[in-house]
């Protein structure tokens, strides 16, 4: 055989070898992982941030025996959108004019779906690229459904983290972090940061020196609060007040400083942390934890009672008093504030009605604290302080009975009992004025729906709807005659005998 006849045969053999190698490379996923596929891809899923890939899962949380699928091989699937899948890369289609010997390597199963890899490849070569993608999705959906027990949800590929770009995940994180924000505010109130900034911006080192804090820790607290628009970092390390931060100042209009400090009370927090107990049993977690009710606990802990009475006083002066503004009390000569605390509500009402006299009824340990408040408002000489239990009786003969934030502390039976006591004591044309958070029906956002959870943890009571209050009045032999301020966080209900 001479060289001229040998060369074409050798060339044909080489060409065939090259084509066989090329075909194996095209259909071999390992070759693609090494970069080959990148040159032949015609469409790809959108690029994802690195953190969303399976490899971003912290190694400590991975099961050593659990295989970690390559995000390239499986395609990414957001666990919150089970129907939506990102397609794996599609490749160019090659048509070979001659047949190849059958491949002998074992069938590779598609890592995430259990499909034979060879089946996937064969299907891909039957149709155009866009058709390939549709086929891939529908085949996998069918195979997923076939493998699942009836009614079971589609399983997520193991090790795939939620997509951090998903707004719902961030929204949930923000909700969860609400507990941290509460504590940041408690710290700001306890260290009186807003008061220290009243004169103008201060470097955090100076703030820390004045309030006795660690400068770095305080900086981190203020940085986190500045991100919530409470304080502002005017320049690096220098903080200033904002309108929101102003409300943490003592005596500022609408100050919530006392209420914020009350949120730092460990027993209250512990009761709310144990909410699951209340949900399981329907009883206040506070009683379960401390073996006593909230009012007896406060009577035994005067420093906590002071925190509570200050907090309620702040709300009474602004929010509870505002609920009464729609009500003309000109004809009222004698009012009884039932459970009136330290008298903050009377201190705002009496100056507007010079001929009105009042009786403040509360627990003996509480009424003693009212004198200073009423003195300061210049109305102490028109108020009788009575220490007692409103379940036992209330001062008779008045033409208006105020109950501000009382009924929400008690269950229905207890509410009917105290309302009945008042009905029997009141003058013939008298009215009962109930100031409460009136919860709207349905999904409307309302402060009362969250305050209700405090009631659940601390008391046998709850926040109620207008209809529920009307039912309580009826059960106590009273008529519900009016409701005002339903839209605001606190409203007024009026009942008569
Ligand atoms: C949530 S505070 C409301 C205080 C005030 N009315 C206000 O609007 O801020 C409930 C008040 O009811 C008082 N209280 C609780 N049980 C009582 C009882 N059995 N007899 C009299 N007062 C009681 C508490 O001492 C407390 O001052």
Taking the CA of residue 409 as reference, the ligand 1 atom at the shortest distance is: 1
**Model pLDDT, residue 267:** 97
Tell me the per-residue pLDDT of 331-380, one tens digit each, with 9 for 90 and over. Answer: 999 999 999 999 999 999 999 999 999 999 999 999 999 999 999 999 99
Rounded CA gap, 429 and 186, in Å?
A: 46
Rounded CA gap, 281 and 255, in Å?
A: 36
Interface confidence, given as ipTM, is 0.99
pLDDT class for 62, splitting at 50, 70, 90? Answer: very low
Looking at the chain, the whole-number percentage of residues with pLDDT higher than 90 is 60
Q: Mean pLDDT across the stretch 223-245?
A: 98
| Closest Cα to atom 13 of ligand 1 | 339
What is the strand order of the sheet 238-240 is part of? 202-203, 238-240, 232-235
| Closest Cα to atom 12 of ligand 1 | 339
| Closest Cα to atom 19 of ligand 1 | 389
Tell me the per-residue pLDDT of 81-138, one tens digit each, with 9 for 90 and over. Answer: 232 333 333 333 333 333 434 443 333 333 333 333 333 333 444 434 444 344 434 4
116 Cα to the center of ligand 1, angstroms: 72
Residue 446's region, left for phi above 0, alpha for psi from -120 to 50, else beta, is beta
428 Cα to the center of ligand 1, angstroms: 25
- Testing ligand 1's pocket by substitution, the residue of 362, 369, 403, 422 carrying the most ligand atoms inside 8 A of its CB is 362
Q: Say yes or no: domain 172-249 is CATH 3.30.470.20.
A: no
Length of the chain: 497
For residues 319 and 453, the model is more confident at 453
310 Cα to the center of ligand 1, angstroms: 13
pLDDT at residue 470 tops 70: yes
340 Cα to the center of ligand 1, angstroms: 6
Q: Is there a contact between 241 and 197 (Cβ–Cβ < 8 Å)?
A: yes
The mean of the pLDDT values for the chain is 77
Q: Is there a contact between 420 and 474 (Cβ–Cβ < 8 Å)?
A: no
pLDDT class for 155, splitting at 50, 70, 90? Answer: low
217 Cα to the center of ligand 1, angstroms: 38
Taking the CA of residue 315 as reference, the ligand 1 atom at the shortest distance is: 9
Rounded CA gap, 369 and 311, in Å?
A: 14
**Residues flanking ligand 1, CB < 6 Å:** 295, 312, 316, 320, 339-341, 345, 362-363, 366, 389-391, 404-406, 409
334 Cα to the center of ligand 1, angstroms: 20
pLDDT at residue 382 tops 60: yes
Tell me the per-residue pLDDT of 285-315, one tens digit each, with 9 for 90 and over. Answer: 999 999 999 999 999 999 999 999 999 988 8
Task: Outline which parts of the chain fall under CATH 3.40.50.150.
Answer: 280-496
Assigned CATH topology for domain 280-496: Rossmann fold (3.40.50)
Rounded CA gap, 452 and 439, in Å?
A: 9
133 Cα to the center of ligand 1, angstroms: 68
The residues that are catalytic are 408
129 Cα to the center of ligand 1, angstroms: 74
Taking the CA of residue 344 as reference, the ligand 1 atom at the shortest distance is: 9
Taking the CA of residue 390 as reference, the ligand 1 atom at the shortest distance is: 20
Q: Is there a contact between 88 and 70 (Cβ–Cβ < 8 Å)?
A: no
DSSP secondary structure string for all residues of 271-289: HHHTHHHHHHHSS-HHHHH
- Testing ligand 1's pocket by substitution, the residue of 300, 406, 415 carrying the most ligand atoms inside 8 A of its CB is 406
Task: Outline which parts of the chain fall under CATH 1.10.10.10.
Answer: 172-249
Structure tokens at 401: 């009975």
| Closest Cα to atom 4 of ligand 1 | 341
pLDDT at residue 245 tops 70: yes
| Closest Cα to atom 8 of ligand 1 | 404
- Testing ligand 1's pocket by substitution, the residue of 341, 347, 421 carrying the most ligand atoms inside 8 A of its CB is 341
Torsion sign (Cα): 29, 32, 36, 41: positive
- Testing ligand 1's pocket by substitution, the residue of 299, 360, 363 carrying the most ligand atoms inside 8 A of its CB is 363
| Closest Cα to atom 1 of ligand 1 | 405
């Amino acid at each position: 055989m001479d060289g001229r006849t040998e060369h074409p045969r050798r060339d044909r053999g080489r060409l065939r070898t090259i084509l066989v190698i090329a075909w194996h490379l095209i259909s071999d996923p390992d070759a693609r992982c090494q970069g080959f596929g990148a040159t032949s891809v015609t469409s790809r899923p959108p690029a994802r941030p690195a953190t969303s890939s399976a490899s971003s899962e912290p190694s400590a949380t991975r099961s050593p025996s659990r295989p970690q699928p390559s995000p390239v091989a499986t395609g990414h699937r957001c666990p919150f959108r089970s129907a939506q899948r990102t397609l794996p890369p599609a490749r160019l289609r090659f048509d070979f004019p001659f047949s190849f010997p059958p491949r002998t390597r074992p069938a590779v199963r598609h890592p995430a779906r259990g499909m034979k890899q060879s089946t996937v490849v064969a299907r891909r070569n039957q149709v155009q690229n866009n058709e390939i993608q549709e086929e891939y999705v529908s085949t996998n959906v069918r195979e997923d459904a076939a493998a699942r027990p009836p009614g079971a949800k589609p399983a997520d590929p193991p090790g795939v983290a939620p997509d951090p770009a998903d707004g719902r995940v961030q929204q949930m994180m923000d909700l969860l972090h609400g507990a941290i924000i509460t504590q940041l505010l408690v710290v700001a109130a306890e260290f009186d940061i807003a008061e220290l900034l009243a004169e103008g911006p201060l470097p955090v080192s100076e703030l820390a020196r004045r309030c006795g804090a660690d400068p770095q820790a305080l900086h981190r607290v203020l940085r986190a609060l500045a991100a919530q628009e409470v304080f502002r970092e005017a320049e690096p390390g220098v903080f200033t007040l904002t309108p929101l931060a102003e409300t943490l100042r003592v005596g500022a209009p609408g100050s919530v400083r006392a209420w914020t400090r009350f949120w730092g009370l460990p027993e209250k927090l512990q009761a709310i942390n144990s909410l699951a107990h209340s949900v399981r049993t329907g009883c206040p977690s506070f009683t379960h934890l401390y073996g006593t009710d909230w009012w007896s606990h406060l009577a035994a802990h005067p420093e906590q009672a002071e925190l509570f009475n200050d907090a309620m006083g702040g709300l009474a002066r602004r929010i509870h008093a505002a609920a009464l503004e729609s009500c003309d009390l000109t004809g009222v000569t004698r009012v009884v504030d039932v459970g009136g605390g330290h008298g903050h509500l009377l201190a705002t009402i009496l100056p507007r009605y010079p001929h009105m006299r009042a009786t403040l009824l509360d627990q003996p340990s509480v009424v003693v604290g009212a004198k200073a408040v009423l003195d300061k408002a210049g109305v102490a000489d028109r108020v009788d302080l009575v220490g007692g239990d409103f379940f036992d009786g209330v001062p008779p003969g008045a033409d208006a009975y105020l109950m501000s934030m009382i009924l929400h502390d008690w269950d229905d039976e207890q509410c009917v009992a105290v309302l009945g006591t008042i009905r029997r004591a009141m003058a013939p044309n008298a009215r009962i004025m109930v100031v409460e958070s009136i919860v709207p029906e349905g999904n409307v956002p309302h402060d009362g729906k969250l305050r209700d959870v405090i009631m659940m943890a601390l008391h046998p009571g709850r926040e109620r709807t207008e209809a529920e209050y009307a039912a309580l009045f009826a059960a106590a032999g009273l008529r519900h005659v009016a409701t005002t301020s339903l839209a605001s966080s606190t409203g007024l209900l009026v009942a008569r005998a």
